[in-house]
Amino acid sequence: MTIATQPASEPVVRPPVRWRRFRLRRAVGLAGIALGVAATNLSSTYSLWFLAIGPAVHAIGWLLLPGAPWRRIVVLLPCLLAGLALLAGPEFAGSFAVLLAGWLLVRHRPLVSYLALAVPILASFAFKQALHEYAQNWVLYTVGTAVTVGSAWLAWWLAVRWASLRRTPSQPVRTLR
């Protein structure tokens, strides 16, 4: 049995990934998280089975992500609750920040990248002011997801910039993905 290693550009250097390839595991885990939250938020009184399947897929997604096991377990319950809280509408739009914080923790991002949490938090205040009807929740889910994904990329950029500022001139440039 061979042990696959992750790309050198990733912050997760130790321990090596022991389950398939790094990128495959990251893609499957992220898909599970996104589909789990989406399925949970698609539930209604006519489709309660989405409410049963969504959190299970969400939890499996977090557990499949590459990273330290303790980090994946720590974020599991808060992120599950955040995914369920989004059912309540714009009043709980701050749940997107919880999901992003979980992603940053599991991805081993440096503390400076947590500044990107300000974007979904500020967006949650805008959602509370702009969205007032239950029929507008699709706007919350669509724009909130776009803001969260954009914030994750902002966090990546901040981590790369921070790493480039901290390196000495003799060290090679290392990028994060």
Distance CA(40)–CA(105), nearest Å, equals: 23
Q: Tell me which of 43 and 156 has the higher pLDDT.
A: 156
The pair phi, psi for residue 15, each rounded to 5°, is -80, 165
Closest-CA residue to 35 (of 150, 162, 141): 141
pLDDT band, residue 22 (cuts 50/70/90): confident
Distance CA(3)–CA(66), nearest Å, equals: 13
- Of 23-27, 69-73, 94-98, 173-177, which range is least confident? 173-177
pLDDT band, residue 18 (cuts 50/70/90): low
Residue 20 has pLDDT above 80, yes or no: no
Model pTM score? 0.82
Report residue 72 as tokens. 């994946």
Instruction: Kindly report, residue by residue over 3-15, the tens digit of the pLDDT.
Output: 444 444 455 444 4
Distance CA(155)–CA(102), nearest Å, equals: 12
Instruction: Kindly report, residue by residue over 40-49, the tens digit of the pLDDT.
Output: 988 888 888 8
